[in-house]
Amino acid sequence: MTKLHNPWPYPQLVAHRGAGRQAPENTLAAFRLGASRGFLMMEYDVKLSKDGVAVLLHDDTVDRTSNATGIAGDRTLAELADIDFGAWHSPQYAGEPIPTLYSIAAYTLANGIRSNIEIKPTTGLEAETGTQVARLAQKLWAHADVPPLISSFSEQALEAALQEAPMLPRALLIEDEVPADWQQRLEKLQCIGINPSNRHITRELIGAMCAAGYHVAVWTVNDADRARDLFNWGCSAVITDEINTMAPGKFHFG
């Protein structure tokens, strides 16, 4: 297991779902906007289409972020490609397509952007999604100087990713309060870090996590003062929607 004496190989400021508030989340348009604000790392959600293609989408369904309805995993890539994933956000993004992991890897690698790939399986496909996403990520980033960070709330998906591509670094996402056995879970999954919720993380917990050798990346942090506190307590990174005041070059760490 990698300990904290191994440096965090990623930027400290991470754009959540690209620029997922100011542009349609998890789309190339959001990535371009985040990059235009100076972000050099993006966090994004990946699941599988019906025909096993890794695509970017947060929810099980397409309802919230498109002009269609239904479970994304019930559609092939060709069917998903016919859906508008931009107009729901604002007219200027009408026609924005769903990206594949392949296309996002090409964009991020060409532009020097690091990736935090969150495995976001369709319910019931946790292990399969972990395996397929890890396999593809290992292939797409095979010649990259820094591999993507693989994270998930699903321990089953992370276990599958570990078995498929053990060299890819992993982090366990925590939705609610940090469980008492967090260290045992990280050890089992051979994680380099833990990504707890900003709502439930404390200075004491961060201290314990760092002392145990783990990197801490907190989500979702949209207040600059809170972010400074987290960094002072030992966080390696924060994941943010606030691409303006917390943009690299504008955010002051101390």
Q: Is the pLDDT of residue 25 over 80?
A: yes
And the tokens for 132?
């397929």
Q: Is the pLDDT of residue 1 over 60?
A: no
pLDDT tens per residue across span 134-165:
999 999 999 999 999 999 999 999 999 999 99
Give the pLDDT confidence score for residue 254 in this predicted structure.
Answer: 81
pLDDT tens per residue across span 75-123:
999 999 999 999 999 999 999 999 999 999 999 999 999 999 999 999 9
252: in domain: no
1: in domain: no
And the tokens for 124?
């019931």
Share of the chain above pLDDT 90, in %: 97
pLDDT, average across residues 24-51: 99
Share of the chain above pLDDT 70, in %: 98
Q: Is the pLDDT of residue 2 over 50?
A: no
19: in domain: yes
d(CA 235, CA 228): 9
d(CA 244, CA 236): 20
Parallel, antiparallel, or unpaired for β 54-56 and 41-48? antiparallel
Per the prediction, the chain carries an average pLDDT of 97
d(CA 206, CA 231): 10
Catalytic residue numbers, as ranges: 16, 58
Query: What's the domain range around 235?
Result: 13-240
pLDDT tens per residue across span 38-62:
999 999 999 999 999 999 999 999 9
Burial class of residue 144, CB neighbours in 10 A (0-12, 13-18, 19+): middle
250: in domain: no
Q: Is the pLDDT of residue 127 over 60?
A: yes
* Residue written as token pair 């019906």: 50
Contact between 205 and 223 (Cβ < 8 Å)? no
pLDDT, average across residues 173-180: 98
249: in domain: no
CATH of the domain at 80: 3.20.20.190
- Number of folded domains that form the chain: 1
And the tokens for 30?
């959001």
179: in domain: yes
142: in domain: yes
Give the pLDDT confidence score for residue 6 in this predicted structure.
Answer: 84
Contact between 24 and 85 (Cβ < 8 Å)? yes
212: in domain: yes
Q: Is the pLDDT of residue 205 over 70?
A: yes
